[in-house]
Amino acid sequence: MKRWQDIPGWFNFERVYDLAPVFLRNNKLKFLEIGSFLGKSTMYMYEILKSKNIDMDFNIIDTFTGPVTGKWKNQKLWDGF
């Protein structure tokens, strides 16, 4: 399994996600990320919650078709998961 640091992407708000365990200590988490691209922020959140033993249902929604322009155009993103 890849670590979040090894996944390309634009995720740069780690400090916001770092607050999640503070607010979720005694609750079962239902996490849904819409638009995961290659999964960098998804994996970051998963690693934090897993390390704190937080009970969770963890889901993502994405087309996995990638952007229509730029470097990632026409890439098979699903293959990376």
Q: What are the pLDDT digits (tens) for 2-45? A: 888 888 888 888 888 888 777 766 667 788 899 888 888 989 98
What's the average model confidence in pLDDT over 42-57? 86
pTM (predicted TM-score): 0.70
Sign of the torsion formed by the C-alpha atoms of 19, 31, 50 and 12: negative
What's the average model confidence in pLDDT over 52-75? 75
Number of domains in the chain: 1
Residue 61 pLDDT? 92
CA pair distance 13, 33, nearest whole angstrom: 14
Residue 79 pLDDT? 63
In terms of residue numbers, what domain contains 39? Answer: 4-80
DSSP 51: H
